[in-house]
């Protein structure tokens, strides 16, 4: 039987993470990349039975590379924004569509990212679901924390500051004046006629 990709279609923060809870323990290839590789999740992860690690897998199912985090991806978004601001913003816009529940699409070349862009947004689809499982809203921030950090990059906060804020444990860091955090909140709202 041929496996279909994506294994689970994306959806809003309040439905997609719940579907990832249904994955059995073990390795699962969940997304096909434009290269010969796949994104896979390994369950359980480090923080509990429903947590999972997101990694790059070879087509034969052997893990290739480390588990990824949204911090890794922030570096790539920063590189894209510095290389070509207009194209970097378009890349961020697509990421925020995925953040809100749209399915990730296509790869963009020459943005200065370390990883291919389809790898970044397809990984983030799963990393954000993982954040929602480990830190569910409204009690915690879930994917909103990662969205806030991405918006800080867009609004000119230096990468070193954004990365330090992404690593804060406990209470979330205070908002920075001039950052459009409302964009992140809007991205979480369900869209009309779908998702």
Q: What is the mean pLDDT of residues 43-68?
A: 83
In three-state form (DSSP H/G/I as H, E/B as E, the rest C), the secondary structure along the chain is CCCCCCCCCCCCCCCHHHHHCCCCCEEEEEEECCCCCEEEEEECCCCCCCCCEEEEECCCCCECCCCCCHHHHHHHHHHHHHHCHHHHHHHHHHHHHHHHCCCCCCCCCCCCCCCCHHHHHHHHHHHHHHHHHHCCCCCCCCHHHHHHHHHHHHCCCCHHHHHHHHCCCCCCCCCCCCCCCHHHHHHHCCCCCCC
The predicted-structure confidence for 154-167, as pLDDT tens digits, reads as follows 999 999 999 999 99
What is the average pLDDT score of the chain?
A: 89
pLDDT score recorded for residue 193: 42
> For residue 97, what pLDDT is reported?
95
Distance CA 7, CA 106 (A): 17
Q: What is the pTM of this model?
A: 0.90
Per-residue model confidence as pLDDT tens digits over 13-24: 999 999 999 999
* Per-residue pLDDT at 161: 98
What does the pLDDT average to over 108-119? 85
Q: Is the pLDDT of residue 29 over 60?
A: yes
pLDDT of residue 3: 66
**Residues 77-112: tens digit of each pLDDT:** 999 999 999 999 999 999 999 999 999 987 777 788
For residue 158, what pLDDT is reported? 98
Give the pLDDT confidence score for residue 191 in this predicted structure: 59
Q: Which residue has the higher pLDDT, 65 or 153?
A: 153
175: pLDDT strictly greater than 60 = yes
């Amino acid at each position: 039987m041929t496996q279909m990709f994506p294994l689970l279609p994306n959806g809003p923060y309040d439905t997609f993470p719940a579907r990832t809870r249904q994955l059995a323990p073990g390795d699962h290839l969940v997304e096909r990349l434009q290269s010969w590789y796949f994104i896979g999740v390994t369950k359980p992860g480090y923080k509990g039975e429903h947590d999972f690690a997101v990694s790059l897998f070879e087509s034969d199912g052997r893990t290739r590379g480390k588990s990824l985090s949204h911090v890794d991806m922030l570096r790539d978004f920063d590189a894209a924004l510095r290389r070509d601001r207009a194209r970097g913003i378009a890349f961020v816009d697509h990421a925020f569509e995925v953040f809100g529940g749209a399915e990730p699409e296509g790869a963009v070349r020459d943005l200065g990212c370390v990883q291919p862009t389809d790898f970044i947004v397809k990984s983030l689809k799963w990393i954000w679901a993982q954040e929602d499982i480990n830190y569910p809203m409204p009690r915690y921030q879930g994917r909103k924390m990662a969205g806030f950090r991405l918006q800080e990059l867009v609004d000119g906060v230096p990468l070193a500051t954004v990365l330090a804020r992404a690593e804060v444990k406990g209470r979330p860091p205070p908002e920075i004046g001039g950052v459009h955090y409302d964009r992140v909140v809007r991205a979480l709202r369900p869209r009309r006629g779908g998702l």
